Structure 1
């Protein structure tokens, strides 16, 4: 069964013009692609890649082009722990069809790490997000299922979320929040927005990301079950 691919309107790109540098613009494209992936609209990704190619990649050095695409790929990998392997896999393969051969990965950075090293880094990353959040119950997942808690903390946080070989923790935070908007998960979204703030992000960045993700949903005609999730401030948690 086929589905019609929506076309992003010209006005969709307007908020990109407010990004002050290439790094911020790359993160904008990353967040858009992640959100499309989690919303299950991977077929829209080629439109985003073409805009990226025409408006940014052609104007930067070759090494920067690879790094830009690598940032987007890494953001998608991070989102696997939020949206799941099926949706992320569809998005990653769609993106791969757009990317020239010279900008594809040839090896896995994560494969070179020991599990012990990854677990220790993952536990620290987990603490950096949740430890200062009094609204988060660290034992809730353990009570629900010790195996689930193990998978989240010693697999997803170790191997997926905390890996810092490509992007920094704040960029990872943007990736996770983008995916959570697409998955319409307000509880987890609230916790990860708080973690982003605790680790040095700003409410302004979260407001811009909210407007971007909700704007994508509006363009695609996707209705949220839970409505808009309030953006917290560090002072309120």
Structure 2
């Protein structure tokens, strides 16, 4: 067990996301975003050694709840896809370290050997799906935000829509649009960027989270950050609801 991802911390993180009652099935358990939010924040602070403890604890918990092998694979895939997606924000060297740590902790029968995304889909597909998800996330501020991204560097604006929001984020077979927002929220909390934290607090609401759920995810990120020794230079924005 990692000296950071202690049993006490993980038990506390599990209890933060509503409902507070213990899950009665592996399916219910896998709806708790702590399973991927904690690994993302640990990766953000470059503590990949804490990720296996989160995974092993969650795997033990869902096995106790009678998880099938498919449900066990889904746990691995959710954490792995979250680490892949967060690399856009926290930096891929840290995401790679997290993915390696997860891979080494994953039993052979739960490792994927083939891609999950369809590598033959054309760029236009990802541009279209990325634009849709971007609009859903930013709502009435989507045009203003996209205009800013394109103005500061047109190439970056294209990358954000097609590759970040398209290829990475809009793929939702493993992680839903709401869970994507959670990934972006906790990554930005770790990165200490208030403007973007506010974007994704509100984006989490637009993608279907309740105020209680969004506040809980914020708190998960804060608690993991504190365990990793984080010192924030800026005040972490609160959800204004």
TMscore range, shorter length: 0.7 to 0.9
Matches within 5 A, 1:1-237: 6-12=3-9, 13-17=11-15, 18=20, 20-21=22-23, 22-23=26-27, 25-26=29-30, 27-59=33-65, 60-110=67-117, 111-133=119-141, 136-233=144-241
Q: Aligned in 2, Cα 1:109/1:63: closer, same or farther, shift over 3 Å?
A: closer
Q: Aligned in 2, Cα 1:58/1:127: closer, same or farther, shift over 3 Å?
A: same
Length-normalised TM-score, structure 1: 0.88
Question: What stretches of structure 2 of length at least 5 have no aligned partner?
Answer: none
Question: What stretches of structure 1 of length at least 5 have no aligned partner?
Answer: none
Displacement of 1:227 in angstroms is 2.0
Distance 2:21 2:151 in 1: 43
Distance 2:95 2:152 in 1: 26
Is the CA contact 1:16–1:25 (under 8 Å) kept in the aligned structure 2? no
Displacement of 1:89 in angstroms is 0.7
Distance 2:134 2:121 in 1: 18
Distance 1:19 1:136 in 2: 41
Is the CA contact 1:81–1:161 (under 8 Å) kept in the aligned structure 2? no
* RMSD between superposed Cα atoms in Å: 2.1
Length-normalised TM-score, structure 2: 0.87
Is the CA contact 2:135–2:142 (under 8 Å) kept in the aligned structure 1? no
Q: Aligned in 2, Cα 1:152/1:11: closer, same or farther, shift over 3 Å?
A: same
